[in-house]
Amino acid sequence: MPTFNSNGVNLYYEDTGIGKPLLLLHGLTSNHAMFYRENEIFKETYRVITMDARGHGNSDKPTHYTLDDHVQDTIALLNHLELDAIYLIGVSMGSYIAQGLAIEMPSQVEKLVLVSTKSHGEQSSMAELFARHAAELKGLNIVDKMSHASQYMFYNQTTVGKWLHETAKNGNQLTLSEQDIASKALEGFDFRKKLGNISAETLVISGRHDGLNPPEYGRETAILIPEATFMEFKWSGHAPNVEQPDLFIGIVENFFE
């Protein structure tokens, strides 16, 4: 398995295709396998690079880490692969990491796509969602909470369910303890004052029915990034790339080209 070391942590990545480097960053508790469809399509035109963030997938799982650790890991990957300029897509947690990378390495991120994003948060979006619906979730275990809360997360739950099943077949899943550690890493971040430093051409995509990171979060992020474009997918929740895949691929391909 291809790995690299970032400050003592071994991280897994995959590198396929030929062309402009395109880095894909996955969401909380997921892994590189969530991009199985995007990888197959984009590798025909781009050099597609996916990685498992620390605490996820095939990468090492420390007992404590932060969002800044994720950002520094991504910088370490660029250095490991000797990449001077990339296109970048980040989904949910991956979009927070992408913001941090584009802020710290503005000259290396040429085009940036932020999906289901926000630019600040006192706690993880899932924790915020659980808090908003605390009364109806009272007494449920974490698995039942997730199942019940999915109605507030996604518009097309059948499609998302198939995608989650496929991702689970091809990537290591986290234990409940590992999920909790991963969630805590996203507490208390705020990029709002630094988003003006991003020089990448930026596209922000939100799903109208996203109860985790509602469209107003994405719109706020787009406003704070110079000349960014904001799009709201009408029939999507927290996974626009999955719930409206053809629209997503078409728009992103057009944006890159």
Residue 128 is predicted with a pLDDT of 87
Residue 126 is predicted with a pLDDT of 84
Q: What is the pLDDT of residues 106-124, one digit of tens each?
A: 999 999 999 999 999 998 8
What gap in Å lies between CA 79 and CA 174, rounded to an integer? Answer: 28
Tell which residue, 226, 199, 221, 227, has the closest CA to residue 85: 199
Q: What is the pLDDT of residues 166-202, one digit of tens each?
A: 998 888 889 989 999 999 999 999 999 999 999 999 9
221 neighbors 119 (Cβ within 8 angstroms): yes
115 neighbors 217 (Cβ within 8 angstroms): no
Residue 1 is predicted with a pLDDT of 78
The answer to whether residue 142 scores a pLDDT higher than 90 is: no
Q: What is the pLDDT of residues 34-87, one digit of tens each?
A: 999 999 999 999 999 999 999 999 999 999 999 999 999 999 999 999 999 999
Mean pLDDT, residues 233-240 = 98
What gap in Å lies between CA 38 and CA 24, rounded to an integer? Answer: 9
* Domains of the chain and any CATH numbers: 3-256 (3.40.50.1820)
* Amino acid (one-letter) located at 127: A
Please, what is the average pLDDT of the chain?
Answer: 95
